[in-house]
Amino acid sequence: MSSARDPLHVTGEVLSVKRIGAYRHLTLVAPGVAERSRPGNFVAVSVGDLRPRSHQTRLSYWIHRVRNTGSHGATIEIIVEPRGAGSQWLTGLGQGSRVDLTGPLGRPFAQPKEPVSCLLVGEGHSAAPLFPLAERLRERGCVVSMLLAASDEQHLLAALEARRSARSVTVVTRDGSVGRSGRVADVLPELLAQVDADVAYAAGSVETLHAVAAAAEAHGAWSQVALELPQPCGTGLCNGCPLPVVGEDGVARIVRACHEGPVVRGDRVRWTALLEGA
Amino acid sequence: MDLGALTLNPPVLVASGCGGTGRELDALGGLAGLGAFVTRSITLDAREGGPAPRIVGTPSGLVNAVGLQNPGIDQFLARELPWLAAHDVPAIVSVAGSSIGEYADLGRRLGRSPGVAGIEVNLSVPDAAGLNIFDAREPFSAARVIAAVRRDLPRGMPVLAKLGPQSNRIGESARAVAEAGADAVVVTNAVPALMPDGRPGGLSGPAIGPLALRCVYEVRVALPDLPVIGVGGIACAADARAFLAAGASAVQIGTALLHDPTTAVRIAAELGGDPS
Ligand SMILES: Cc1cc2nc3c(=O)[nH]c(=O)nc-3n(C[C@H](O)[C@H](O)[C@H](O)COP(=O)(O)OP(=O)(O)OC[C@H]3O[C@@H](n4cnc5c(N)ncnc54)[C@H](O)[C@@H]3O)c2cc1C
Ligand code: FES
């Protein structure tokens, strides 16, 4: 039977769809989902008209913010980058549209018990779950620094907002349109040393997460990486999201990214196997 | 619906490979009140499964090449079965083997394990050869597998034979497995298909609904007294009723659970636990 910690499958309602840069910012009423969510959780959205539905696979989105609106209760916000058929359908929904979703899902970020120094690294839309994390860490007395990365300014998420939640914010873009020019890996070792990070939290492409895990290890810090591998169901049912890891027992195995992840310790991921798509 | 010692009430089951370990569905309220939970196919040894991507969406369906990832029978019995056995829903264990001997071994182990309500023998893995699974497409081969599983099982333990979608020979296969000791047939499995990158896979979902329905009908016509469990593209109560009308005694819900994990319980509630 389900308990207060379990995810829910609900029919939500779109309250608003706003454009921010290359992304769409959706606010959804999803009863019960907001109340249960923790930083690093995601929702899995059923794509297409409610019935009949031609799209059988689902799409996952990080829970960006949870807000308590007076009139609609707690709402969730997600940041969607319109790409293929599914995300375009979702971002094309009008106010008041209904959407089936399940959440909160997955293992959230593990938070330190002590007030430590944390570096949060977010790339593109994947920076979404780092904002609520930054707030939680600050409440615990942690020193929070952020590194936001993107291909260009259009794909940079909420740098202004980051300055409110973090002590220092560094921005890198590949084309140099804003902040420093380069990639995460270029500035990471220097930044980890500068803020003397005890923990690195990261969300982005597999290559970026690999770079963060490696740099954190070299610096002597823990890393927590939030993976975005394709998740056909997002709920642990289909075994469609293989993630090669080394278990606590030292044994190499394949786990489900959506269920045993999507946030995992960086030193547990078998990066070579993952990058090769094994 | 009764199968030996097992009653499937309501006649709505979770299809193999689409319900995780059972715990995930339960956490979403999608397990209690179902007729039975069918596990993903368990093999003798653990299998890592195929590389990513394992599942791609297609219009009204999906193609999967999961590759029978499972922890192997020992880990399954130690870690997953006890949880299922402690819950309200009967556990039917799906098995697949690379030889007749392996199927027999799996049957023997499961027959001795408390908490197993029945065995579903997967005779229709879409890519049997590539996965080194015994190719049981020929009715004669399917019957040998069923006889091997049946041999050492306790009397009342039901054996379900899951047949592939070759509707031209499905009546013949059903007759062969029934004579070999199957209590019911499950029709049908995913349809052999190809992933976009050329790897073999299986197509499932609403796209195969009418094909599965035809398979149910063919078996019903050939063997009016053999219980048939229909599976393939069932996404709502109306779909389930169409299968029951075509001659199925029960239905399994698979792909639809991936986009809505509550589909099976909703259909069960709408059918009102009444098989007619
Ligand atoms: C944990 C996690 C968190 C994520 N968070 C975010 C986030 O915050 N923001 C964000 O932008 N992205 C996020 N993503 C990525 C997101 O889930 C999608 O992968 C991304 O939006 C791409 O969507 P799409 O429209 O291109 O997919 P689609 O084009 O809809 O493709 C997805 C699937 O649908 C199938 N498909 C495609 N076309 C059809 C069709 N016509 N009929 C049937 N099936 C079809 C494809 O084969 C594929 O399997 C996250 C992913 C994960 C795993
Ligand atoms: S996406 Fe289905 S198990 Fe992870």
pLDDT of residue A2: 56
CA dist., res. B195 & res. B55, Å (int): 8
User: Quick check: is A95 in a domain?
Assistant: yes
Are A259 and B24 inside 8 Å of each other by CB? yes
Domain count, chain A: 2
In a domain, A192, yes or no: yes
Reply yes or no on whether the pLDDT at B221 is more than 80: yes
- Across the range B168-189, mean pLDDT stands at 96
The reported pLDDT for the residue numbered B276 is: 40
**Residue A259 CA, closest ligand 2 atom number:** 4
Place of tokens 């190809």: B194
Q: A110 in a domain, yes or no?
A: no
Asked if A253 and A245 touch (Cβ cutoff 8 Å), the reply is: yes
Whether A160 has a pLDDT exceeding 80, the answer reads no
Domain boundary among A80, A105, A130: A105
What would the mean pLDDT of B62-79 be, rounded to a whole number? Answer: 97
The beta-carbon neighbor of A54 closest among B32, B40, B59 is B59
A121 shares a domain with A100 = no
Identify any residues that bridge with A242 across adjacent strands, giving them in sequence order: A256
For the CA atoms of A34, A37, A40, A45, the dihedral, rounded to the nearest 10 degrees, stands at -50
Q: Which of A75, A105, A135 is the last residue of a domain?
A: A105
Judge whether B117 and B92 are in contact, CB under 8 Å.
yes
Which two structure tokens, joined as six digits, stand for A193? Answer: 């040393």
In this complex, the residue of A1, A2, A9 whose CB is nearest that of residue B260 is A9
* A183 in the same domain as A161: yes
Strands B118-122 and B91-95 come out as: parallel
Choose the final residue of a domain: A76, A105, A134.
Answer: A105
Q: Please check whether residue B16 touches A, CB under 8 A.
A: no
Asked if omega into B210 is within 30° of 0 (cis), the reply is no
- Tell me, yes or no, whether A24 lies in a domain: yes
Residues 64-103 of B with CB under 8 A from A: 64, 66, 69
A122 and A101 belong to one structural domain: no
Q: A252: which chain B residues are within 8 Å (Cβ-Cβ)? A: none
Query: How many whole angstroms from A215 Cα to the centroid of ligand 1?
Result: 29
Return the ligand 1 atom nearest residue A80 CA: 11
Is the pLDDT at A256 greater than 90? The verdict is: yes
Q: Nearest chain A residue to B47 by CA: give it.
A: A254
Residue A86 maps to which CATH number? 2.40.30.10
- Strands A252-256 and A242-246 turn out to be antiparallel
Judgement on whether residues A133 and A94 belong to the same structural domain of the protein: no
- Are A33 and A153 members of one domain? no
CB B79 within 8 A of CB B71: yes
Per-residue pLDDT tens digits for A6-42:
999 999 999 999 999 999 999 999 999 999 999 999 9
Residue A198 lies in a domain: yes
| B273 CB neighbour count, 10 Å cutoff | 12
Mean pLDDT over B212-227 rounds to: 97
CA dist B158 and B6 (Å) reads 7
What is the residue range of A190's domain?
A: 117-276
Q: In whole angstroms, what is the distance from residue A85 CA to residue B138 CA? A: 40
The two structure tokens encoding residue B260: 């809505």
pLDDT on residue A5: 79
Summarised one tens digit per residue, pLDDT across range B119-161 is 999 999 999 999 999 999 999 999 999 999 999 899 889 999 9
- For residues A96 and A178, membership in a common domain is answered with no
Instruction: Tell me the ligand closest to A57's alpha carbon.
Output: 1
- Residue B168 has what pLDDT? 79
**Quick one: DSSP state of residue A226?**
E
A258 CA → ligand 2 middle, Å: 6
CB A243 within 8 A of CB A229: yes
d(CA A40, CA B127): 37
- Mean pLDDT for A149-158 is 93
Q: Closest residue of A to B27, CA-based? A: A2
Q: How far is the CA of A175 from the centre of ligand 2 (A)?
A: 35
Tell me which residue in A2, A55, A242 faces B54 most closely, judged by beta carbons.
A242
Residue B66 and residue A58: Cβ atoms within 8 Å?
no
Phi, psi of B93 (to 5 degrees): -95, 125
pLDDT band at B5 (very low <50, low <70, confident <90, very high): confident
Q: Under an 8 A CB cutoff, do B52 and A277 touch? A: yes
B102 residue type, one letter:
E
B55–A238 C-beta distance less than 8 A:
yes
Identity of the amino acid at A210 = H
Q: Do both A94 and A122 map to the same domain?
A: no
Cβ < 6 A, ligand 2 pocket: A 231-234, 236-241, 256, 258-259
How far is the alpha carbon of B138 from chain A, nearest alpha carbon, in Å? 28
- pLDDT (tens digit per residue) in A33-83: 999 999 999 999 999 887 777 899 999 999 999 998 878 788 999 999 999
Cα of B62 from ligand 2 centre, angstroms: 13
**Out of A102, A242, A259, whose CB is closest to B49?**
A242
Whether A98 and A129 map to the same domain: the answer is no
CA atoms within 13 A on the CB side of A230: 13
Which ligand 1 atom is nearest residue A261's CA?
1
Q: Could you tell me the CATH number of the domain that includes residue A263? A: 3.40.50.80
| Angle separating helix axes B237-245 and B209-222, nearest 10 degrees | 30
Q: What's the pLDDT at A250?
A: 93
Task: Report if residue A1 sits inside a domain.
Answer: no
**Which of B187, B189, B241 minimizes the C-alpha distance to B217?**
B187
Please choose from A43, A45, A227, A259 the residue to mutate so as to test ligand 2's pocket, defined by most ligand atoms within 8 A of CB: A259
**Would you say A238 is a known binding-site residue?**
yes
> B16 near B41, Cβ under 8 Å?
yes
- Residue A2 covered by a domain: no
What is the rounded distance in angstroms from the CA atom of residue A221 to the CA atom of residue A223? 6
B138: its two tokens: 């020929």
A37 shares a domain with A135: no
* CATH fold of B2-272: TIM Barrel (3.20.20)
Residue A4 pLDDT: 74
- Asked whether residue A118 is marked as a ligand-binding residue, the answer is no
Q: Is the peptide bond before A104 cis (omega within 30 degrees of 0)?
A: yes
Phi-psi region of A158 (alpha: psi -120 to 50; beta: other; left: phi over 0): left
Q: What DSSP line would sit under B139-175, residue for residue?
A: HHHHHHHHHHHHHTS-TT--EEEEE-S-TTSHHHHHH
Q: DSSP class of residue B90?
A: P
Residues A147 and A264 in one domain: yes
Record: contact B64-A238, CB cut-off 8 A = yes
| Contact residues of ligand 1, CB 6 A cut-off | A 42, 47, 54-55, 57, 59-62, 78-81, 83-87, 125, 128, 228-229, 231, 262; B 56-59
**Mean per-residue pLDDT, B19-41:** 95
Q: Which residues contact A22 (CB under 8 A, 6 or more apart)?
A: A81, A154, A155
What distance in Å separates the CA atoms of residue B265 and residue B13, rounded to the nearest whole number?
9
The Cα–Cα gap between A203 and A229 comes to 12
Please give the model's pTM, rounded to 2 decimal places.
Answer: 0.95
Q: Which ligand is nearest to the CA of A255?
A: 2
Within 8 A of A100 by CB-CB distance, chain B residues are: 259-260
What's the gap in Å between A261 CA and the centre of ligand 2? 10
| Sequence ranges of the domains in chain B | 2-272
Nearest CB among A1, A259, A277 relative to B51 is that of A277
